[in-house]
Amino acid sequence: MYSKQSFKWKAVWCCWLLLATIPATAQTDIDGLMMDKNFFCVGATAGKSSWKNYWEGTLKRDNPNLGTVSNTNAMLMGVYGITDKLNVLFGLPYIKTKASAGNMAGQKGLQDLSLFVKWQAYEKHLGNGHLKAIATAGYSLPTSNYAPDMLPLSIGLSSQNLTLRLLADYQWNNWFATASASYVYRSNVTLNRNTYYTTEMHYSNKVEMPNASQFNIRAGYRSSTWIIEAIADRWNTLGGFDITRNNMPFVSNNMEATSVGLHVKYDTDFVNGLSFVADANTVVAGRNVGQSTGFSGGIFYIFDFSKKKPAAPAVASPSQNK
């Protein structure tokens, strides 16, 4: 049997859904932690984010015909350690949107499945601490034929995304800081109509999506029991156009969001491998997105499939872990 200590910093999870228009980010693909070989962490989060004000281009406004637009979500996630330095990850959110006022119907459905490979490329003692460099490659695709063309109530944008991310993590005693930069290639999107207007008419059901960049900085306290970190994030599409006055949002808008958040993870004492997470975040600046504030919580469990485990790799029950 393994000790609780072996789970130290194994995984941090949370669903970090700002808006349906910005990809869901599981913490694990953007943090500086790796899962050990043959360990499998799986969990689920549930959360809700909402906004009343949004940016129509650079103009901040509300809309009494939408009221508050909310996004209730549940996400299933997992990470598996192929080796100590190579992890594979997946995430799949279910999303339900709703407008508190007006006539627009909310939308719901399974959104995009994301698959990531995370590779710890470099590790070194530096000063009194420990430096890691991690590279991540991800791919996501829609798992249902939801309509992307119903913003702001669409559950997603339906592009297939390829994400490449470079990340540096430095830990000194129980304090740490992580910084990452990502480039997101977004495929063309197919609409349920054969023409659309951006800054001119287009006679096609295909929309060219601007690619996007993401910068993420997180820092805080990390021990075997607690992780408490503050997060700053910047999402920026590399192109796209502004929503015109009183128009509807569109999939290929120029979407920017700067957000700040707090993430807490607690590894339980009473069940080895069981952890809880809680998250809060809010958009502080944006363009063509809602000024969203969200909360989520989740539960995770780590299964040990390593060879040192005598029994067959059946589902480990809490009692077995003791």
Query: ∠169-170-175 over CA atoms, to 5°?
Result: 120
Say if CB 262 and CB 279 are below 8 A apart: yes
φ, ψ at 6 (rounded to 5°):
-65, -15
- DSSP reduced 3-state for 320: helix
Please report how close the Cβ of residue 240 comes to another protein at its closest, in angstroms.
13
| 52, 202, 234, 309: which one binds another protein (CB under 8 A) | 202
Query: ∠25-220-8 over CA atoms, to 5°?
Result: 75
Residue number, 62 or 314, with CB nearest to another protein: 62
Considering only residues 248-287, where is the footprint of another protein by CB under 8 A? Answer: 248, 250
Mark 1-38 as b/e (b = at least 16 C-beta within 10 Å). ebeeebbebbbbbbbbbbbbbbbbbbbbbbbbbbbbbb
- DSSP reduced 3-state for 260: strand
Please report how close the Cβ of residue 204 comes to another protein at its closest, in angstroms.
5
Please report how close the Cβ of residue 304 comes to another protein at its closest, in angstroms.
23
The length of the chain is 322
Q: What is d(CA 255, CA 157) in angstroms, rounded to the nearest whole number?
A: 12
| 100, 244, 313, 314: which one binds another protein (CB under 8 A) | 244
Residue number, 10 or 186, with CB nearest to another protein: 186
| 58, 100, 174, 247: which one binds another protein (CB under 8 A) | 247
Residue number, 62 or 172, with CB nearest to another protein: 62
Please report how close the Cβ of residue 214 comes to another protein at its closest, in angstroms.
16
Residue number, 57 or 297, with CB nearest to another protein: 57
Total chain residues near another protein (CB under 8 A): 47
Query: Beta strand 175-186 with 112-126: parallel, antiparallel or unpaired?
Result: unpaired
| 172, 174, 193, 225: which one binds another protein (CB under 8 A) | 193
Q: What is d(CA 27, CA 17) in angstroms, rounded to the nearest whole number?
A: 11
H/E segment holding residue 319: helix 318-321
Paired tokens of 269? 């004492």
| 173, 204, 223, 225: which one binds another protein (CB under 8 A) | 204
Paired tokens of 34? 């790796």
313 interacts with another protein by CB under 8 A? no
Largest Cα separation within the chain, whole Å, is 65
| 125, 200, 312, 319: which one binds another protein (CB under 8 A) | 200
Q: Which x/- pattern over 83-112 shows residues binding another protein (rule: CB under 8 A)?
A: x--x--------------xxxxxxx-----
- DSSP reduced 3-state for 27: helix
Please report how close the Cβ of residue 132 comes to another protein at its closest, in angstroms.
14
| 3, 128, 246, 319: which one binds another protein (CB under 8 A) | 246
Task: Work out the number of other CB atoms within 10 angstroms of the CB of residue 308.
Answer: 8
Considering only residues 123-152, where is the footprint of another protein by CB under 8 A? Answer: 135, 137, 145, 147, 149-150
Q: Note the residues at the interface with another protein (CB under 8 A).
A: 64-65, 83, 86, 101-107, 117, 119, 121, 135, 137, 145, 147, 149-150, 162, 164, 185, 187-188, 191-197, 200-204, 206-209, 244-248, 250
